[in-house]
């Protein structure tokens, strides 16, 4: 029974982590540890457990910045969902439908802000940079759809180019030729290809900033979300999101009724008032 409970917990909150391996291997390892403990073999000589990574407090509001980040939905939406994701993460793919359902359920009240958190750098970096470059030409959501529907589903992302003479692999986005797979997506969207390739190089700084922003609040896996600054992790069901959205929407409407402009709500009540790091700010 204990094994079943633990396995269910792992599956329910599954997410792609920067230091994770195959989920099945994790479950097998967990089962072996549980069997050992149940058999009384977890005592002398057992390795000390790794300290758990600090995680955002789900009861608190964090001041996650969104200035300059691409988003889907009204700019003055009262509820902002910051989505931390990776283009090679299957759980991020699974939660896409849930995000679409939220946008349909709250068409005027929810916007989804995209922040890259690359936990599979050899696979997902080209996708993250392509999304950023497409956003600069106003095609962020269109590129996002192509990266998932054609890149992820076909497992056809750009990889490091083979360098001559045994040198380190060259990143396709740093070459004049660019990355052929995502460049084909840019052509499909009728983007300026020269600008797209240039922006992919420059977008490395934006992607790194996204990750720094998220790591400051304890994000270590994808998908992760901040709903008006409140943390949710994993590919959770729609109902889990709507509970928080409804709570945050009510608070926002109360503030708007008291005089806060809708377009200023996130900045004024989440960014300005929220926690700037995992720890409480100094008074």
Place of tokens 């149940």: 38
> What does the pLDDT look like over 222-277, one tens digit per residue?
999 999 999 999 999 999 999 999 999 999 999 999 999 999 999 999 999 999 99
pLDDT score at 273: 96
Place of tokens 């001041």: 63
Domain residue ranges in the chain: 2-38, 71-271
Strands 79-85 and 71-72: unpaired
* Lowest mean per-residue pLDDT among 96-110, 143-157, 166-180, 232-246: 166-180
For the cut 80, the answer to whether the pLDDT of residue 178 exceeds it is yes
Provide the CA 227 distance to its chain's centre, in angstroms.
13
Task: Name every residue whose Cβ is closer than 8 Å to that of residue 219 and which is 6 or more positions away in sequence.
Answer: 56, 84, 117
> What does the pLDDT look like over 96-124, one tens digit per residue?
999 999 999 999 999 999 999 999 988 89
**Interatomic CA distance for residues 128 and 134, integer angstroms:** 10
71-271 fold = Glutaredoxin (3.40.30)
For the cut 70, the answer to whether the pLDDT of residue 167 exceeds it is no
> What does the pLDDT look like over 36-91, one tens digit per residue?
444 444 444 444 455 556 789 999 999 999 999 999 999 999 999 999 999 999 99
Q: pLDDT category, 160, cuts 50, 70, 90?
A: low
**Interatomic CA distance for residues 182 and 39, integer angstroms:** 52
């Amino acid at each position: 029974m204990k094994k079943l409970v633990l396995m269910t917990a792992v599956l329910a909150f599954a997410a792609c982590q920067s230091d994770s391996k195959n989920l099945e291997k994790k479950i097998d390892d967990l089962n072996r540890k549980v069997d050992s403990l149940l058999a009384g073999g977890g005592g002398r000589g057992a390795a000390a457990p790794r300290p758990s990574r600090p995680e955002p407090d789900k009861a608190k509001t964090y001041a996650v910045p969104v200035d300059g980040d691409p988003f889907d939905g009204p700019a003055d939406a009262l509820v902002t969902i910051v989505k931390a994701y990776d283009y090679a993460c299957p759980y991020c793919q699974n939660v896409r439908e849930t995000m679409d359902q939220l946008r349909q359920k709250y068409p005027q009240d929810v916007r989804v802000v995209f922040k890259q958190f690359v936990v599979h750098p050899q696979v997902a970096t080209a996708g993250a940079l392509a999304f950023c470059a497409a956003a600069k030409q106003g095609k962020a959501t269109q590129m996002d759809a192509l990266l998932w529907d054609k890149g992820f589903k076909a497992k056809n992302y750009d990889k490091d180019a083979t360098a001559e003479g045994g040198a380190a692999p060259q990143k396709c986005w740093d070459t004049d030729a660019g990355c052929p797979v995502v460049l084909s997506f840019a052509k499909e969207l009728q983007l300026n290809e020269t600008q797209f390739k240039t922006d992919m190089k420059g977008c490395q700084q934006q992607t790194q900033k996204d990750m720094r922003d998220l790591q400051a609040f304890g994000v270590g896996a994808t998908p992760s979300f901040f709903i008006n600054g409140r943390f949710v992790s994993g590919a959770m069901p729609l109902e889990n999101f709507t509970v928080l959205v409804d709570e945050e929407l009510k608070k926002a409407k109360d503030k708007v009724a008291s005089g806060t402009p809708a377009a200023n709500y996130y900045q004024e009540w989440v960014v300005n008032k929220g926690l700037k790091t995992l720890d409480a700010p100094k008074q």
